[in-house]
Amino acid sequence: MSAVRNVLLFHSPTSVRSWRDDLARALPEFDVVDSLDGIAPERVAAAVVWRYPPGLLQSLTRLRLIQVLGAGVDHVVADDRLPPGVPVARLVDESLSRCMSLYVAMQAIALHRREPELRRAQLEGRWTYIHPRHPSKTCVGVMGLGVLGLDCARTLLGLGFTVAGWSRTPKPDLGFPSLAGGDGLEEFQRQVDCYVLLLPITPATERIVDRTFLARAKPGATLINVGRGGLVDDDALVEALDGDRLGHAVLDVFRTEPLPAGHRFWRHPRITITPHNSSGTDPATALVQVVANVRRALAGERPENLVDLSRGY
């Protein structure tokens, strides 16, 4: 009688298509499936997922690992029907960080060089000379100093920007000034010309960019949100942009994704929208660690980059 093979469930609507086949090749001891139809739930030993429908994993009582195919795990934290006690790991991948840092650098340079104003001038056929400024004249404030935030901060420093960091808890010896907690936030805001949001979304960070925050921003400050849509109070953001408090916002993440047709952000002259593509996972670099983590979990060892579900990241 042949032994029943373990199943690996792959679910990721936005990943490059080769992920599933690459996993199947790298883990020949598994049946890799992208649907649970016809699969006995007790055969599923590992799930590699990104933005799956809540409840998808509920019946998988023999699951040994939930490997998230991205840095943020909010969709797993929000799933109140997870099988109990299954370790959840997120991806920490150099190429994911690099890709994010390049996006943030591109947008920070564009904002620093006032590209949105130049673009508007072009559309209106106006020659508008804006004298270039040295990047050190712009302080980019990175909020969230995890792996992605630190990589962005260091990339921006390398480009000559002045960089300040903020995190909920103090992070010593980063090589650039950083502040922490509610007390540190006001002092941080006194310095910042361009905010970069890279915080995880938790009850403590939900709507951290609210009316109070925006009222304290330097006039004309700009914002790049590559964290999560829920970090920002959308009404307060539009008010701040309309009232000239904020100069421009670059948004890659939204409360509802895809951003619904007709949403007021689409046509706002001071909002730049990208479709949550600031970064992404690439099997060329991330497959090795996903495979190693699956094998670790199956061997009863501790997977790497585990998430604390009670903390939310």
- Residues designated as active site: 228, 276
**224 counts as binding ligand OXD under rule CB under 6 A:** no
**Residue corresponding to tokens 């009232």:** 243
Phi and psi torsions of 300, nearest 5° = 80, 15
Would you say 71 or 250 has its CB closer to ligand OXD?
Answer: 71
- Residue 245, token pair as written in the block: 């408090």
**165 counts as binding ligand OXD under rule CB under 6 A:** no
Strands (E), the chain: 6-11, 30-33, 44-49, 65-68, 88-89, 139-143, 162-167, 178-180, 194-197, 221-225, 246-251, 271-273
**149 counts as binding ligand OXD under rule CB under 6 A:** no
Site map (CB under 6 A) of ligand OXD, residues 261-300, x = contact: ------------------x---------------------
**167 counts as binding ligand OXD under rule CB under 6 A:** no
Would you say 253 or 298 has its CB closer to ligand OXD?
Answer: 253
Would you say 221 or 226 has its CB closer to ligand OXD?
Answer: 226
- Interacting residue with ligand OXD among 46, 47, 64, 70 (CB under 6 A): 70
Q: How far apart are CA 241 and CA 247, in angstroms?
A: 6
Interface with ligand OXD by CB under 6 A: which range of 5-13, 66-74, 75-83, 183-191? 66-74
Q: How far apart are CA 294 and CA 101, in angstroms?
A: 28
Closest by Cα among 257, 258, 234, 238 to 248: 238
Shortest distance, CB of residue 72 to ligand OXD, whole angstroms?
3
Binding residues for ligand OXD, rule CB under 6 A, total: 4
**116 counts as binding ligand OXD under rule CB under 6 A:** no
CB count, 10 Å around CB of 123? Answer: 9
Q: How far apart are CA 108 and CA 223, in angstroms?
A: 9
**Residue corresponding to tokens 């199947």:** 24
**229 counts as binding ligand OXD under rule CB under 6 A:** no
**71 counts as binding ligand OXD under rule CB under 6 A:** yes
Residues in touch with ligand OXD (CB under 6 A) = 70-72, 279
